[in-house]
Amino acid sequence: MIPLHIFSDPICPWCYIGKTRLDRALEARPQHPLTIQWHPFQLNPEMPAGGMDRRDYLETKFGGKDGAVRAYMPVVEEAAASGLEIDFEAIKRTPNTLDAHRLIHWAGIEGRQTAAVSRLFRAYFNEGLDIGDRATLTEIAGAIGMDADLVARLLDSDADADDIRARDADARHKGVTSVPTFVIANQHVVPGAQPTELWTRVIDDITAQIKAQPDEGA
C-alpha cells in the first residue's frame, strides 16, 4: 500500500473541497492502493481557546466586510462546483482546532480517522456547530463509534496536546505553509484542492507502476 499523508485543518474550506474531490476519485477506483493518514495543521494556532466571533475574525483577517466577501467568493464558487452546500451563514464562531485535532489523532488509533475528519467537516460547514466545543466533539466521537465517555475524559485533560503542537510545528518546519497539502509515498507533494481527475490519474499511475514491478517471489 502507498501512504497518502494529508495535512489539513477541519475549519479550512479548501480542505473540505479537496477531500470531497479526492473522495470521488477513491470511489471511482475502489481497488486503489492508497492508505490515508491525516496530520494536524492549525490555520490559527494562536486562536484563543474559546475561539472568537466568526464575523469579527473574518473582518479582522481580511480588512473588513468587503475584503472578507472577496476572499471567500472563490471558496463559494468552487464549493458549489464540487456539489458542496456550505452554510457559511450558520457558522457563528471560528474555533481553536487543537481539540479537534486531538480527536482526529485518537480516532486514528481506532482506525476511524477519516470518519472523524468527515464528520468534523460536516459539523462545521454544513451544520454550523462549534467544533472547538468539547461537548460537540464528544458527540462526534460517539457518532463515529468511539467511546464518548473516554473521549470526554481525554478532552478534559491535556492528553496529546503537546504532541499535536509539535507535529504542527514540524510540518511548518518541513515546508508546509498552507492546507490542504498532500504527500504521496513520502516523496511527491501536491498542494491545494486538486480536481478529481488529477487524483484519478495519480491512482491509475501508481496502480500501473505497482503492477509493472517484478514479482519478488517469482
Per-residue confidence (pLDDT) for residue 215, from 0 to 100: 72
Query: Domain limits of the chain?
Result: 2-212
What span, in angstroms and rounded, lies between the C-alpha atoms of 11 and 16?
Answer: 8
pLDDT score of 128? 97
Confidence of residue 159 (pLDDT cuts 50, 70, 90): very high
Instruction: Give the pLDDT band of residue 217 (cuts 50, 70, 90).
Output: low
The predicted pLDDT at position 216 comes to: 61
Provide the pLDDT for residue 100: 98
Measure the CA–CA gap between 74 and 87, rounded to whole angstroms: 15
Determine the average pLDDT of the residues in 75-95.
95
Please say if the pLDDT value at position 125 is more than 80.
yes
Tell me how far apart the alpha carbons of residues 86 and 137 are, in angstroms, rounded to a whole number.
Answer: 20
pLDDT over 90, % of the chain = 95
- pLDDT tens-place string over residues 41-84: 999 999 999 999 999 999 999 999 999 889 999 999 999 999 99
Q: Hey, what's the cell of 156?
A: 478534559
**Cell 504521496 belongs to residue:** 184
Supply the pLDDT for residue 200: 98
What pTM does this model have?
Answer: 0.96
| 8-state DSSP, 94 | E
User: Could you report the per-residue pLDDT of 6-51, keeping only the tens digit for each?
Assistant: 999 999 999 999 999 999 999 999 999 999 999 999 999 999 999 9
pLDDT tens digit string along 192-216?
Answer: 999 999 999 999 999 999 999 887 6
The architecture (CATH level 2) of 2-212 comes to 3-Layer(aba) Sandwich (3.40)
Mean residue pLDDT across the chain: 96
- Rounded to whole angstroms, the Cα distance separating 171 from 42 reads 10
Say what the pLDDT of residue 198 is: 98
